[in-house]
Structure 1
Amino acid sequence: TPAPAPEAPRLAGGNRLISGLSSFQRNTAPLVRDELARLAVEGQRPSQLFITCADSRLVTSMITASGPGDLFTVRNIGNLVPLPDAESGDHSVGAAIEYAVDVLKVESITICGHSGCGAMQALLGGEPDREAPPTSLWRWLRHGLPSLERMASRHHAWARISGRLPADALEQLCLTNVVQQLDHLRAHESVARRLAEGTIRLHGMYFHVGEAQAYLLTEGASSGLELDEVFDRVDPGDAPGSGELERTGV
């Protein structure tokens, strides 16, 4: 009799997925079932569009103290917002912006960058050999080149955290990228229209992973004024209405 075939090893990632799902069904689902049932009937009405990096260290619901139905979230490599033109635009990000602004009628849009961003590190390292066909990753990262150019330009304000200079070139680019992507966001027709009507607000946010600390771009920054683009620390005692995100605990 032939020996039975050995069992294929189960990958650790698969085990973690099943364990996490089981934990959710056991511990969390009973707590949120009524709220999710309500949202299933009424539909979603998020007040915010939150655009951030796909980095696994950014847990948006944790750092914004938000729950089901609060955030309409877009995640991509480098929290990039491609300009809305035929050649370099990105239909996925553009569609999400249009849907959030025109259909869901969100009241604010946040672009959230973070420390130690691998996308920004790759941009600092320069493009690979131009003779080789560009990879999907580099075709995408080219949307971040304007941030690199902005950081090197003397015609733009200096992006920094309040009270100190950027720790290094990587932090400088991570901060600058948030400011640059806000400019790209304003170029989208639906956003420009709502801004002109005064019915939407834009926020720039930086999350320092090692500090577990959020910073918000000073209100009114990135408007063409030749002043430093300053990210202010969000403290535990900050009250709603002082510039932090609506409907969250930030």
Structure 2
Amino acid sequence: MKDIQRFIAGFRTFQESYFGAGADHFEPLKEGQSPKTMIIGCSDSRVDPALLTNCAPGDIFTVRNVANLVPPFEEKGGRHGVSAALEFAVCHLGVEHIVVLGHSGCGGIKALMAGTCGCKGGGFISHWMSIAAPARERVLTELPDKEPGLQQRAAEQAAILLSLENLRSFPWIDQRVASGTLSLHGWYFDITAGELLEYQQEGGCFEPVKSC
């Protein structure tokens, strides 16, 4: 119960900061949201997109899942949570940027590389992580003799690129990217170094982000 009590106390602090006397940040948000950026991040408790970017409520539309994956476009199959969020963000909110935010030490990618996804009596993780199978195959083909840690880092970054490719498979995303009204970004948070890297199309690699 200690965690729950700490969370409640934290909410009281949030409530006072955003709804207390003189606080007006939520006044326009009470009528709706209009973020210009969507971030697709990992469920990992260490990688909170709003915390990493120092954003306030209403600044970003966020979707988090195991290994920050984007499935390819398909109209049949199961319940498409990520795809539904993409449709809402792009077609209804009109976001101008979509960021795929991966990170080092990702448990989902580690399990994918080791072939240990899922657990006895369930297969949700294995089925989900199969989205990133091409990233695993690419790394094992290009870096067959490298040590596991380097392969995992390469796979984490390759999975970001795969998700960026999958985003373009959604027709209403591809159309907006082609017209210049929507931009896609690949970010990688190095937890050990405390550094944020961004994929540079020109150089074909991830490099530290530069301040504007």
The interval holding the TM-score normalised by the smaller chain is 0.7 to 0.9
Matches within 5 A, 1:166-245: 168-218=150-200, 220=201, 229-235=204-210, 238-239=211-212
User: Gaps (5+ residues) in structure 2?
Assistant: none
* Residues 40 and 99 in structure 2, CA contact (< 8 A), matched pair in contact too: yes
Which position in structure 1 is the counterpart of 2:13?
23
Matches within 5 A, 1:1-250: 11-30=1-20, 33-41=23-31, 43-86=32-75, 91-127=80-116, 134-154=122-142, 168-218=150-200, 220=201, 229-235=204-210, 238-239=211-212
SS in 2 for 1:58: coil
* Residues 118 and 125 in structure 2, CA contact (< 8 A), matched pair in contact too: no
* Residues 82 and 90 in structure 1, CA contact (< 8 A), matched pair in contact too: no
- TM-score w.r.t. the length of structure 1 is 0.74
Q: Once structures 1 and 2 are overlaid, which stretch shifts more, 142-151 or 29-38?
A: 29-38
Alpha-carbon distance, 1:30 to partner: 3.1
Runs of 4+ in 1 over 6 A off after TM superposition: none
Alpha-carbon distance, 1:195 to partner: 1.4
CA root-mean-square deviation? 2.6
Aligned-residue sequence identity (percent) comes to 33
SS in 1 for 2:26: helix
Structure 1 residues 201 and 12, CA, compared in 2 at 3 Å: closer, same or farther?
A: same
Structure 1 residues 90 and 176, CA, compared in 2 at 3 Å: closer, same or farther?
A: farther
Q: Which structure is larger by alpha-carbon Rg, 1 or 2?
A: 1
Alpha-carbon distance, 1:213 to partner: 1.1
SS in 1 for 2:20: helix
Partner Cα separation in structure 2 for residue 32 and residue 207 of structure 1: 36
Partner Cα separation in structure 2 for residue 216 and residue 110 of structure 1: 10
Partner Cα separation in structure 2 for residue 38 and residue 22 of structure 1: 21
Partner Cα separation in structure 1 for residue 181 and residue 78 of structure 2: 25
